[in-house]
Amino acid sequence: MEIIPKGTKLYSILFMKCPRCHESDLFKNRNPYKIKGFFEMPKSCSNCGQKFELEPAFYYGAMYVSYAVGIAYMVSVFVALMVLYPDFSLILYLILAVGGMLVLTPIFFRVSRSIWINFFVSYDKEAGKLTGTPKA
């Protein structure tokens, strides 16, 4: 996937990678639809050591992101319908918007956490490289 280059925040957000080194996964389980361990994240990055929970209850803030992501989704569905199918009914919109939200919730949840940690941690291309002495 070279469309989204490594080193950009988008890469870390969409592929749910460590925000610092973009190598390890933010979630223990790659499949967001597997219920068991759905919330589980490693304590820190196995590659660069970046902590994934920056402070206690760090991810409460991700709820606001999740709200914004949800609104963005609802608006996108609306715009897509306006363009593709201008005669759409309100019922169709509600089915797509609400149904889609339910189906996509696990993904939105993860993307929101991914966006949230990316507000605070930036990419460091030297992070996690086992060369030379560690930077102070």
Selected range binding Zn ion among 20-28, 74-82, 93-101, 108-116, rule: CB under 5 A? 20-28
Q: Of 97, 107, 89, nearest to 72 (Cα)?
A: 97
| Cα–Cα distance, 95 to 107 (Å, whole number) | 18
Residue 69 binds Zn ion (CB under 5 A): no
Selected range binding Zn ion among 14-22, 31-39, 90-98, 108-116, rule: CB under 5 A? 14-22
Q: What angle do CA 77, 111, 97 make, to 5 degrees?
A: 20
Report 74-113 residues binding Zn ion (CB under 5 A).
Answer: none
Separation of first and last alpha carbons in the chain: 33
Residue 47 binds Zn ion (CB under 5 A): yes
Report 115-134 residues binding Zn ion (CB under 5 A).
Answer: none
Residue 45 binds Zn ion (CB under 5 A): yes
Count of Cβ atoms closer than 10 Å to residue 90 Cβ: 7
Which spans of this chain sit near Zn ion (rule: CB under 5 A)? 18, 20-21, 45, 47-48, 50
